[in-house]
A and B are shown apart, each in its own frame.
Chain A
Amino acid sequence: NAGVMQNPRHLVRRRGQEARLRCSPMKGHSHVYWYRQLPEEGLKFMVYLQKENIIDESGMPKERFSAEFPKEGPSILRIQQVVRGDSAAYFCASSTGGNSPLHFGNGTRLTVT
């Protein structure tokens, strides 16, 4: 039973490029969450999605960031025109909804050069 799968594990982008981070939830999970971890910081909530719907995006920066969770396929966190400050570890978590525990993936470490 595979856990939450995130890819790529490491991603390097130059300033101004686009970054696409993918997350496949655990089997049977239809709720996906994205968190960002800056160096030596805790995780900060970004967005909560259910299949084809954004439930809560209150933690998402207003510009350049978007997220989707289509009916088929993984959830995608997209960062356009990346800047150095976007360098961080991005974690995806999934759950069955309600108050069930979140299970996290191994994260994608984005480095912007």
Chain B
Amino acid sequence: AQKVTQAQTEISVVEKEDVTLDCVYETRDTTYYLFWYKQPPSGELVFLIRRNSFDEQNEISGRYSWNFQKSTSSFNFTITASQVVDSAVYFCAGGNNRLAFGKGNQVVVIP
């Protein structure tokens, strides 16, 4: 069985502040993939990143960065210098073919 935990439900930040979203993925699988998706108010799901369980190297893409630590099963996501357009629900997901999703983090960036 897989379980994805995103503890924070709603996070409000003032524009230009950093925001970090926590995700813990629990599984009995030894190999798996982890994902982050963004769901803006318009409702579509936007793929942000995929990491495999062997790769613990941190990754940065523009204002986004990800930190994966297999020992703690955590795959955290940081938005640096947040902007109003970052306001959305962010989902962490994990698995192989069949993904399990967390309940999401609602991020509100206040101008």
Interface residues of A (CB under 8 A from B): 31, 33, 35, 41-45, 48, 55-56, 58-59, 89, 91, 99, 101-107, 109
- Encode B73-105 as 1/0 by CB contact (under 8 A) with A: 000000000000000000101001111111110
**How far, in Å, is B103 (CB) from chain A's closest CB?**
5
Size of B's binding interface in residues, CB under 8 A? 21
A102 B91 Cβ-Cβ under 8 A:
no
Whether the Cβ atoms of A45 and B99 lie closer than 8 Å is yes
A54 to B2 Cα, complex, angstroms: 21
Flag if B47 contacts A43 (CB, 8 Å): no
Contacts of B33 in A (CB 8 A): 99
Q: Residues of B at under 8 Å CB distance from A? A: 4, 33, 35, 37, 43-45, 47, 50, 52, 91, 93, 96-104
Main secondary structure of the interface of B (DSSP, over half): strand
A42-B103, A43-B101, A45-B99 known; A101+B47 contact, CB < 8 A: yes
Q: State which of A42, A103, A109 has its C-beta within 8 Å of the C-beta of B91.
A: A42
Q: Tell whether, in the assembled complex, residue A55 and residue B102 are in contact, meaning their CB atoms are under 8 Å apart.
A: no
Please report the C-alpha to C-alpha distance between residue A89 and residue B42 in the assembled complex, in whole angstroms: 12
Inter-chain CA distance A22–B100, complex, in Å, is 22
User: B103: nearest residue on chain A (CB-CB)?
Assistant: A42
Most chain B CB within a 10 A radius of its CB, from A44, A56, A58, A99:
A99
CA distance A107 to B40 in the complex (A): 13
Residues of chain A contacted by B4 (CB below 8 angstroms):
42
Instruction: Kindly list the 5 A-B residue pairs having the minimum CB-CB distance in the complex, ordered from nearest.
Output: A42-B101, A104-B45, A43-B101, A106-B44, A42-B103
